[in-house]
Structure 1
Amino acid sequence: MRICLRYAKNKDEAVEMVNDGFMKVFMNMHKYDRQRSFNAWISTIMINTSIDYYRSRIRKIEMEELNAKHEVEDSENILSHLNYEDLIKLVQKLSYAYRTVFNLFAIDGFSHEEISEMLSISVGTSKSNLFKARENLKKMLTETPNPSLQKINY
């Protein structure tokens, strides 16, 4: 549920993604390679299901392509100061494009090359969306009324 919740706008969407994901797990159990981690296999299915969820519902997502001149900060910088629940609340406020790239890169550990293939976008767009996601998160952190989140300084 945690994986899908990161990609969803709300809990209802996450539940739908989890249901779809477990249907895929059960339907494809015969494809599972016992030499690999079962949890990693399920996580991959849930991530792909979350992405497929939006692909099937959104006709076209406009993603701007910019030459990302700014160096992207280390993703651990943002994550290390937040507890999981606070991070999820903030990430859910991001647009679909920013939320997806942020989750795939900063939380799930995919490279920009892998993200570009998964989402059918350029590497530059992936980098740009990650940069903008982090900027939006920083802005939310400074504007949030939650005292536990205001302790973070950038």
Structure 2
Amino acid sequence: MNYTDEELVSGCKRGSSKHEELFYKKYYGYVMGISLSYSKDRDLALEIANDSFLKFFSSIKKVESFQTVKAFLRRITVNTAIDYYRKNKKYQSHSDLEIEIPNQNEVNALSSLGFEDIIKLINQLQEDLKLVFNLYEVEGYSHKEIAGRLGITEGSSRVYLTRAKAKLRQLVHLHLQEYEGR
């Protein structure tokens, strides 16, 4: 039997493990997709996804409208990824990047890249660069919001975004070279 979000959330609010399991199965791909966009490592993405579900189920009573379930779940998942970043950022190293100005061929190459190619390139970014890039470009957070959530300055957020874009340009350039060499 297929349950509606309303039925699943009502069951979860009652503490029904059956409804929690069905909700998990229904939204696993969605949450895992978000988690993967914030982590290079599949195991870490799975940990983020599972923690996100645990947080969702523990705060299920806050869900007032069944139309907002997916948005609420997304917000929890993004915040969980941010928490993992904060917890692990002391172990990350920052490498200097050569910043290049893209030429017209590279700009045209972006339009020829497929969705999966772009995701693969983004996944090659350092975790901190990838996180800021996703928060700014995908989620639409401002630099002020990113700074507040990550415990960095707005200037650092801008620098991380600039570095992420510069690294992506380098990766596109390398991708083009590989493509032209085939």
1:13, distance to aligned residue in structure 2 (A): 1.4
Equivalent residue, structure 2, for 1:99: 130
Could you say what secondary structure the match of 2:90 adopts? coil
Could you say what secondary structure the match of 2:53 adopts? helix
- Is 1:28 the equivalent of 2:59? yes
Read off the aligned partner of 1:110 and give its amino acid letter. Answer: Y
Equivalent residue, structure 2, for 1:47: 78
Equivalent residue, structure 1, for 2:29: none
Equivalent residue, structure 2, for 1:12: 43
Equivalent residue, structure 2, for 1:59: 90
State the identity %: 36
1:29, distance to aligned residue in structure 2 (A): 0.3
Equivalent residue, structure 1, for 2:157: 126
In the alignment, the residues of structure 2 paired with residue 33 and residue 87 of structure 1 have an alpha-carbon distance, to the nearest angstrom, of 36
**Alignment check: 8 A CA contact 2:109 2:172 kept:** no
CA 106–62 in structure 1, closer or farther in 2 if over 3 Å, else same:
same
1:92, distance to aligned residue in structure 2 (A): 1.7
Equivalent residue, structure 1, for 2:173: 142
Q: Which has the higher contact order (CA 8 A, sep 6+)?
A: 1
Which has more radius of gyration?
2
1:56, distance to aligned residue in structure 2 (A): 2.5
CA RMSD in angstroms comes to 2.7
Query: Structure 1 unaligned runs (5+)?
Result: 65-76
**Alignment check: 8 A CA contact 1:10 1:92 kept:** no
- Is 1:116 the equivalent of 2:158? no
In the alignment, the residues of structure 1 paired with residue 142 and residue 113 of structure 2 have an alpha-carbon distance, to the nearest angstrom, of 22
1:63, distance to aligned residue in structure 2 (A): 7.1
Structure richer in helix, relative to its length: 2
